[in-house]
Amino acid sequence: MSETIRVLLSEEEVDQRISEVAAKVSKDYEGRQVHLISVLKGGVFFTCELAKRLTIPVSMDFMYVSSYGMSTKSSGVVKIVKDLDEEIEGRDVLVVEDIIDSGRTLNYLLEYLQNKNPKSLRLCTLLDKPERRAVEVHVDYTCFQIPDEFIVGYGLDYAQKYRNLPYIGVVELN
């Protein structure tokens, strides 16, 4: 089986929207430092683009969480592959993720981080597929809500390919 990629959101559309969300985040956190926690691997492209546009002081850390299995469906079992380098107690934490699908990964991660007593904890996602939600997750900042299709590009992969695409595309299996 081979696949083709149909453009859903162009590079210009994505970059424009990230600038808007970054302006909102900068305003909301005015006078504070925001500690970004980027969720590897997919969230890293978005995190960089967001961080470059923030006008408040920023620090960053990275976590790598993986749901078991290689399928296009999230299994709901979350494993921490790489944990935080720095303590987050008392800090204003903003988790930056590529996509919220079933919500299982972020539901788990937010609870994990909340237990470390940050001063505040919010979630910012590039993409959200609300139709697919299996567990509730409060999303504070969303760039785009998208339909239930399998997405690649801007950090998102299909079997580890296409993360490097500068736009957001839909995988079409032929």
Residues that bind ligand IMP (CB under 6 A): 42, 67, 74, 97-105, 150-151, 156
Active-site pick, 101, 128, 148, 157: 101
- For residues 34 and 25, the answer to whether their CB atoms sit within 8 Å is yes
CB of 82 to ligand IMP, least distance (A): 14
Which of these, 172, 140, 167, lies nearest to 25 by C-alpha position?
140
Query: Which range binds Mg ion by CB under 5 A, 21-29, 37-45, 49-57, 138-146?
Result: 37-45
State the binding partner of 150 from ligand IMP, Mg ion, none, CB within 5 to 8 A by kind: ligand IMP
State the binding partner of 104 from ligand IMP, Mg ion, none, CB within 5 to 8 A by kind: ligand IMP
CB of 141 to ligand IMP, least distance (A): 16
CB of 114 to ligand IMP, least distance (A): 17
The residue count of the chain comes to 174
The interaxial angle of helices 11-28 and 43-53, nearest 10 deg, is 60
Q: What's the burial of 130, exposed, middle or buried (CB within 10 Å: 0-12/13-18/19+)? A: middle
CB of 114 to Mg ion, least distance (A): 19
State the binding partner of 92 from ligand IMP, Mg ion, none, CB within 5 to 8 A by kind: none
User: How far is the C-alpha of 141 from the C-alpha of 124, rounded, in Å?
Assistant: 4
85 as an active site residue: the answer is: no
User: How far is the C-alpha of 136 from the C-alpha of 71, rounded, in Å?
Assistant: 22
The HSE-up count of residue 169 (CA atoms within 13 Å, CB side) is: 19
* By CB under 5 A, residue 98 contacts Mg ion: yes
Q: Which pair of structure tokens corresponds to residue 121? A: 């904890």
Is the CB of 29 or the CB of 46 nearer to ligand IMP?
46
Residues with catalytic roles:
101
Question: Which residues of the chain form contacts with Mg ion (CB under 5 A)?
Answer: 42, 98
